[in-house]
Structures are given as C-alpha cells and as structure tokens.
Amino acid sequence: MNPVNKEWSDLSPEEKKVQLFLNQKQTLDLFLEKGAISQAQYDKSLGDLRERKGVKV
C-alpha cells in the first residue's frame, strides 16, 4: 500500500470529512485567485460546502 493511502486509511471519518472539505476549499480559493469565479460565487459555494459537509473550519 502506498504511503498516501495508508495515511488516508488511518484517518477517522471526521478527519476525512475535514480533509475533503479543505481540499475542496483549496480548489475554490484557486478559482477565485485566477478569476474563474467572482467573490459572490466563492462566498455562496463556500457557504454551501460548509453546510453540506457540516464543517465549521
């Protein structure tokens, strides 16, 4: 098993949920930085993401 998968498999379900949230937020951050989405789109998407994932980060 490769080290990345092993690390992932060692995470609790809550830790996995937070990590997935952070990865998706990073993508939104990049879209905003590159001008692919507006600040309003970013704010809405981030709010929706927080709601769906139940993450308070």
At 7-32, the pLDDT tens digits run 889 999 999 999 999 999 999 999 99
Give residue 42's domain range: 15-53
1 pLDDT more than 50: no
Give how far Cα 7 sits from Cα of 10, 15, 27, 32, Å.
5, 11, 21, 29
In a domain, 23, yes or no: yes
DSSP one-letter code for 51: H
Q: Sorting pLDDT into bands at 50, 70 and 90, what band is 55?
A: confident
Rg (Cα) of the chain, in Å, rounded? 14
Question: What is the identity of the amino acid at 14?
Answer: E
Residue 37 in domain: yes
| Number of separate domains in the chain | 1
